[in-house]
Chains A and B, each alone.
Chain A
Amino acid sequence: MSTAVADRSGATAELQFATFYVGHMLLGVDIRVVQEINRQSEITQVPHAPDYVRGVINLRGDVATIVDLRAILGLPPSETSRQTRNLIVHHQGEAIGLLVDQISDILTLREDEISPPPTNVEGVDGRLMSGVCTLDSAIVVLLDIDEVLADSARQE
């Protein structure tokens, strides 16, 4: 389930993205993969886990992995704050939380507003993106959730 421009019903098809900040970068993921957003801070550390894994939380009786987006995107780590949220996405049959610094809006875009990703945006590898969109005030980087959550062969 890629967030890439996949809708074939016409160039004017609209896509919705949940947007959020990691550092000062504005990022978006396809809203269809987003299950919920919560602010649970009780994260259980997992020893020997890859360093982009923050830990696990109790998601109403299931154990969900929390992934640190900063580590995946190659951004410097930061402290959690009152704005920190878990963006729970449903991916490959499993609920996974993305740790984000702050939640922003839901963004509705037409396909023709999305441009293909450059090789990198502020040091973030273009392969993790499905596209970018330039708004009046900022650039929104749309994440390719399959790439972001790929568990094998991640270059550390």
Chain B
Amino acid sequence: MAIEDPELLAEFIAESRDHLSHVEGQLLEIEANGADIDVDLVNNVFRGIHSIKGAAGFLGLVTVNRLAHGLENILGLMRTRELTPTSAMVDVMLRAADALAHLVNNAEASNDANVDDHVMRLDAIFAGAEGGAVAVVTATCTAVAEEEQRELDLDSAVDFVEQAMFADAADEDNADDAPLPTVKAELEPEQMPIEAVAPPAPSIIDEPKSTASAAPTAQASAVVAETSIRVQVGVLDSLMNLAGELVLGRNQLIQALNTDAHVGIEAVASRLDQVTTELQEAIMRTRMQPIGAVFSKFPRVVRDLSAKLGKQCDVVMDGKEVDVDKTILEAIGDPLTHLVRNSIDHGVERPDVRVAAGKPAIGTIHLKAYHEAGKVRIDIADDGGGIYPEKLKKKAVEKGVITAEQAGRLTDREAVRLIFHPGFSTAEKITDVSGRGVGMDVVRTNIEKLGGTVDVDSNPGQGTTIQITLPLTLAIIPSLIIQSGEERFAIPQVNISELVRLRREEMAKRLDLVKSAEVLRLRGSLLPLVRLREVLGFGLPNAAATETDPQATTNIIVVESGQQRFGIVVDALHDSEEIVVKPLGRHIKNAPCLSGATILGDGHVALILDVAGIAAHEQIGSAHETAAEKSDETVHGDDESQSVLLFTNHPLDHFAVSMDVVARIERIRTDQIDSVGGQELVQYRDSSVPLLRLENVITARPAETQNWVYVIVFAIGGKEVGLIAPRLEDIRRVPTNVDTITFQQPGIQGSLIISQQTTRLVDLFRIAELAHAEWFADQPKPSVETGKKPLVLLAEDSTFFRKQVKSMVEERGYEVVDCEDGLIAWERLMVGDLDIDVVITDIEMPNLNGFELCQRIKQSKWSHLPVIALTSLAGASDMQRGIEVGIDDYQIKMDREKLLAALHNFTGSKAGSNRRHLQPA
């Protein structure tokens, strides 16, 4: 058929989809309400279907019109309360709505589609309610007979006929509440700011046959509406404003270029920089859509599938308003659906099993989306049977996925992760639901393709949670630019876990061969290594050149992808850049190891490396990793270690700062540094960060003049301060047995020998205090009403840290009793002669660790004492343990500001009375 006005048709399709996208959820809600009809809700659906019907009639889409009419009839009866919705009716209506969606998506061909059985069933409900029950039975039975293979349809149709026959009786006592899956979700018909105009997902299990004929043409007409998205006027306005700013910037640029000395060009450049960033963000916003567009199909999926499997399941959804990029939204639908189906199929038990296990008969699947650390997290939690690690290990061994020996070494958490292993299906028996050759490994691969990660956590008997982390967008990805041979490549930051630089003399010690494969010794474990030149077939570098160059270093990028972790040896490292991803042409898009291309600042094309592809190409398996045994070369046995950033001020002066206190590291041009009244500043975002130079505060050779410098940014009382670090060397874990004698100087915590270089460990806060005592003037001091200083009991086994903490705390007006371990501290406390106000304890200590110490204190007469735990890095499991034993606060060892603030809180109005509850740091 010919539609005269294609624009009108496109509008009809877009509008109808809009209506239909809500209908499914609304119908499910109508079902859940049962006899307690929400007239407004029914009216809503009615109006939607009614306007589809009207427009279809106008456009001559007779089939659409007929089907919509059938639906409308029933809704009409429901809104006048003449008909009580039952599950069977809603079944019919849902299928009809699906069929309607198909017709709308293929509007051009819709008049040839056959919707007779839908219409017949709808009419049967309508007629049944009117009282023509006997006629209905025959009519529906014929319809049923035509439907060959759909068992469920048949069942529900028979159900329905029975109910239709007894409709009058049922109306009275609402007897038709047979065990039905209830579906609970916040299904308010919300208006999304940017609407997904993707077609509503077709029902996955039972697709009425008649609509299948229309499917082949789906692609052609679907394109019509998908090329447009809705954008909020506010976003559009801000885009317009920014475009104006951009024009202004260009004009200023041209003006500046026309002057002789290019006056003010820096200002213009920074302005353009800012506008471009904002423009990029605004444009990204137009691509953002709420994840609810994907979530909204799950109530139906859960309802249909649990009914089919004879299970009962609720679905609860949180965070439907969380925005993600359109491309991610489109790509995440299938993996999520698979995971939800998996949860019902394998997770939630049958009602009898659940009741026997003392759980409610109805299972719950909890979908939750939220933002976390600039990423989107989606959790899919069920309260089903959980995964038994032992069972899984046994199967993995049977299937030859891992050896029995490897299985023995796996922790429970690691064992549960085996479900993501290729070729591993957890189903005891293969069902047609999840045993379709699509395993969890495919889900994982698909999510990783999006730059995301997936993890699983399970409590046997209690349930399983799948956690997905996704980037906010795919179009622009932060990457590290590296060089191999003549070419530069981009590696997405999401894959990079750290950078390792080996000097020539270290190479023999750190590089090794295991079964002819090269490995890197990294903090006691062996990491598989690949050389990018070889991976990419560029051949070996000129050996003579590197042999003779004593400065030659080897740059290794430690990358992670899924379960693989390995090092890539590259020729050189360049900058970090936010790159715009461009697709590769069809001749090369299948090249292994590459995932796309980008255009660098100088106009050159750089290819983007696909870390997973390299792992596959080089056959780095996770088995490789498990084979990596612990080497004996751990970092100085007994003591703890801390992560430090190594840098040089003058090339001969080596320094380190603890990574725990570093907020971030910036790279700036030296001409960006302003000097105001003798204080150097750099503009960052909307504020200015004061800069410090080491040579101004401590004895150090002045830095050489450079065009670019790094700035180590840290926070003092909520204010950011930067330390200029001309050259960064490495980030490393070093032992804490710091020599505190040789370099006794304010601002220097001590010295270490790192790579044969004497390196001074800088105390950033002390440096800041030395340079600007006034910044610390208003720092809280303990109140000294009675003339007595608050008394702190400190337990810390590392001499270095003990001295640090002690001096830091004493300086702020406290008195400190320090003890070498938990047991000594406990015994000291037991003596009972001290009026301790607060306890500060390390966690890892010999004899009695921090947890045990705290437990003892909390169970003694000193249970009122606040206990602050010091950790080098706060881990979640530690924290949990800490809460259990009653630790009041956690602080990171080297974060002096926070520790002192916490101390002040606990002693502020004298110990005991003002205890705050634990705030995870």
| A63–B584 CA distance with the chains assembled, in angstroms | 7
A108 interface contact, C-beta 8 A: no
A3 interface contact, C-beta 8 A: no
Binds A, one of B243-251, B602-610, B804-812: B602-610
Binds B, one of A50-58, A73-81, A121-129: A50-58
Neighbouring B residues of A64 by C-beta, 8 Å: 585
Q: Which residue of A lies closest to B533 (CB)?
A: A47
A67 interface contact, C-beta 8 A: yes
Neighbouring A residues of B606 by C-beta, 8 Å: 44
Contact A56 B605 (CB under 8 A): yes
B530 interface contact, C-beta 8 A: no
B421 interface contact, C-beta 8 A: no
Q: Which of A47, A50, A149 touches B538 (beta carbons < 8 Å)?
A: A47
Contact B586 A53 (CB under 8 A): no
Neighbouring B residues of A49 by C-beta, 8 Å: 587-588, 591
Q: Which residue of A lies closest to B488 (CB)?
A: A44
| A4–B181 CA distance with the chains assembled, in angstroms | 62
Q: Which of B486, B487, B537, B597 touches A48 (beta carbons < 8 Å)?
A: B537
Known interface pairs A48-B591, A64-B585, A151-B586; 4 further A-B residue pairs with C-beta atoms within 8 A, sorted by A's residue number: A47-B538, A56-B607, A65-B585, A65-B587
B582 interface contact, C-beta 8 A: yes
For this complex, 20 residue pairs linking A to B, each with C-beta atoms less than 8 Å apart, are A44-B597, A44-B604, A44-B606, A45-B487, A46-B591, A48-B592, A49-B591, A53-B588, A56-B585, A56-B597, A56-B607, A58-B604, A62-B582, A63-B597, A64-B585, A65-B584, A94-B585, A94-B586, A96-B587, A149-B587
B264 interface contact, C-beta 8 A: no
Q: Which of A42, A56, A57 touches B588 (beta carbons < 8 Å)?
A: A56
Q: State the 10 A-B residue pairs at the shortest beta-carbon distance, nearest first.
A: A65-B585, A47-B536, A44-B605, A63-B597, A63-B582, A48-B591, A49-B588, A56-B605, A151-B587, A58-B605
Instruction: State how many angstroms separate the Cβ of B702 from the closest Cβ of chain A.
Output: 41
**Provided the pairs A44-B606, A58-B604 are in contact, do residues A53 and B587 lie with their beta carbons within 8 angstroms?**
yes
A137 interface contact, C-beta 8 A: no
Neighbouring B residues of A83 by C-beta, 8 Å: none
Contact B599 A58 (CB under 8 A): yes
Contact A47 B591 (CB under 8 A): yes
Contact A44 B587 (CB under 8 A): no
In residues 602-628 of chain B, which contact A (Cβ within 8 Å)? 603-607
How many A residues face the partner with a CB closer than 8 A? Answer: 24
Contact B536 A48 (CB under 8 A): yes
Among A58, A67, A151, chain B packs the most CB atoms within 10 A around the CB of A58
A92 interface contact, C-beta 8 A: yes
| A96–B607 CA distance with the chains assembled, in angstroms | 17
Contact B605 A63 (CB under 8 A): yes
Neighbouring A residues of B585 by C-beta, 8 Å: 56, 63-65, 94, 96
B594 interface contact, C-beta 8 A: yes
Using a CB–CB distance below 8 Å, which chain B residues touch chain A?
A: 486-487, 535-538, 582-588, 591-594, 597, 599, 603-607
Q: Is the interface of B mostly helix, strand, loop or mixed?
A: loop
Instruction: State how many angstroms separate the Cβ of A139 from the closest Cβ of chain B.
Output: 29
| A149–B605 CA distance with the chains assembled, in angstroms | 22
Instruction: State how many angstroms separate the Cβ of A11 from the closest Cβ of chain B.
Output: 35
Q: Which residue of B lies closest to A40 (CB)?
A: B603
Q: Which of A61, A94, A96 touches B599 (beta carbons < 8 Å)?
A: A61
Contact B586 A56 (CB under 8 A): no
| A49–B587 CA distance with the chains assembled, in angstroms | 8
Q: Which of A45, A52, A56, A149 touches B584 (beta carbons < 8 Å)?
A: A56
Neighbouring B residues of A46 by C-beta, 8 Å: 584, 588, 591, 594, 607
| A42–B605 CA distance with the chains assembled, in angstroms | 9
Q: Which residue of A lies closest to B591 (CB)?
A: A48
Q: Which residue of B lies closest to A44 (CB)?
A: B605
Neighbouring A residues of B593 by C-beta, 8 Å: 47-48
| A94–B585 CA distance with the chains assembled, in angstroms | 7
Instruction: State how many angstroms separate the Cβ of B494 from the closest Cβ of chain A.
Output: 21
Q: Which residue of B lies closest to A50 (CB)?
A: B587
Neighbouring B residues of A149 by C-beta, 8 Å: 587
Neighbouring A residues of B592 by C-beta, 8 Å: 48
| A58–B582 CA distance with the chains assembled, in angstroms | 10
Q: Which residue of A lies closest to B597 (CB)?
A: A63
Q: Which residue of B lies closest to A49 (CB)?
A: B588
Instruction: State how many angstroms separate the Cβ of A6 from the closest Cβ of chain B.
Output: 24
| A42–B600 CA distance with the chains assembled, in angstroms | 13
| A42–B582 CA distance with the chains assembled, in angstroms | 18
Neighbouring A residues of B603 by C-beta, 8 Å: 42, 58
| A56–B588 CA distance with the chains assembled, in angstroms | 9
Q: Which of A47, A52, A92 touches B594 (beta carbons < 8 Å)?
A: A47
| A47–B583 CA distance with the chains assembled, in angstroms | 16
Instruction: State how many angstroms separate the Cβ of A53 from the closest Cβ of chain B.
Output: 5
Among B487, B535, B583, B605, chain A packs the most CB atoms within 10 A around the CB of B605
Q: Which residue of B lies closest to A96 (CB)?
A: B585
Instruction: State how many angstroms separate the Cβ of B456 from the closest Cβ of chain A.
Output: 33
Instruction: State how many angstroms separate the Cβ of A98 from the closest Cβ of chain B.
Output: 12
Contact A57 B605 (CB under 8 A): yes
Neighbouring A residues of B587 by C-beta, 8 Å: 49-50, 52-53, 65, 67, 96, 149, 151
| A63–B597 CA distance with the chains assembled, in angstroms | 7
In residues 134-156 of chain A, which contact B (Cβ within 8 Å)? 149, 151
Among B486, B538, B591, chain A packs the most CB atoms within 10 A around the CB of B591
| A25–B599 CA distance with the chains assembled, in angstroms | 35
Q: Which residue of B lies closest to A46 (CB)?
A: B588
| A50–B486 CA distance with the chains assembled, in angstroms | 19
| A58–B537 CA distance with the chains assembled, in angstroms | 23
Q: Which residue of A lies closest to B484 (CB)?
A: A47
Q: Which residue of A lies closest to B596 (CB)?
A: A63
Q: Which residue of A lies closest to B609 (CB)?
A: A47
Neighbouring B residues of A58 by C-beta, 8 Å: 599, 603-605
In the complex, per-residue mask of A19-50: 1 if CB is within 8 Å of any chain B CB, else 0: 00000000000000000000000101111111
Contact B486 A45 (CB under 8 A): yes
Among B535, B536, B587, chain A packs the most CB atoms within 10 A around the CB of B587
| A61–B598 CA distance with the chains assembled, in angstroms | 9
Instruction: State how many angstroms separate the Cβ of A81 from the closest Cβ of chain B.
Output: 20
| A58–B599 CA distance with the chains assembled, in angstroms | 7
**Provided the pairs A62-B582, A63-B583, A65-B588 are in contact, do residues A42 and B537 lie with their beta carbons within 8 angstroms?**
no
Neighbouring A residues of B591 by C-beta, 8 Å: 46-49
Instruction: State how many angstroms separate the Cβ of B834 from the closest Cβ of chain A.
Output: 69
Q: Which residue of A lies closest to B486 (CB)?
A: A45
Neighbouring B residues of A47 by C-beta, 8 Å: 535-538, 591, 593-594, 607
Contact A44 B586 (CB under 8 A): no
Q: Which residue of A lies closest to B600 (CB)?
A: A58
Instruction: State how many angstroms separate the Cβ of A75 from the closest Cβ of chain B.
Output: 19
| A63–B586 CA distance with the chains assembled, in angstroms | 11
In the complex, per-residue mask of A86-109: 1 if CB is within 8 Å of any chain B CB, else 0: 000000101010000000000000
| A63–B582 CA distance with the chains assembled, in angstroms | 7
Instruction: State how many angstroms separate the Cβ of B326 from the closest Cβ of chain A.
Output: 21
Contact B584 A44 (CB under 8 A): no
Instruction: State how many angstroms separate the Cβ of A51 from the closest Cβ of chain B.
Output: 11
Q: Which residue of A lies closest to B598 (CB)?
A: A63
| A150–B392 CA distance with the chains assembled, in angstroms | 47
Among A42, A48, A62, chain B packs the most CB atoms within 10 A around the CB of A48
Instruction: State how many angstroms separate the Cβ of B612 from the closest Cβ of chain A.
Output: 15
| A145–B693 CA distance with the chains assembled, in angstroms | 64
| A67–B582 CA distance with the chains assembled, in angstroms | 18
Instruction: State how many angstroms separate the Cβ of B842 from the closest Cβ of chain A.
Output: 50
Neighbouring A residues of B538 by C-beta, 8 Å: 47
Neighbouring A residues of B535 by C-beta, 8 Å: 47
| A86–B237 CA distance with the chains assembled, in angstroms | 42
| A49–B582 CA distance with the chains assembled, in angstroms | 17
Instruction: State how many angstroms separate the Cβ of A107 from the closest Cβ of chain B.
Output: 27
| A62–B585 CA distance with the chains assembled, in angstroms | 10
Neighbouring B residues of A94 by C-beta, 8 Å: 585-586
Instruction: State how many angstroms separate the Cβ of B582 from the closest Cβ of chain A.
Output: 4
Instruction: State how many angstroms separate the Cβ of B503 from the closest Cβ of chain A.
Output: 28
In the complex, per-residue mask of A114-125: 1 if CB is within 8 Å of any chain B CB, else 0: 000000000000
| A6–B599 CA distance with the chains assembled, in angstroms | 39
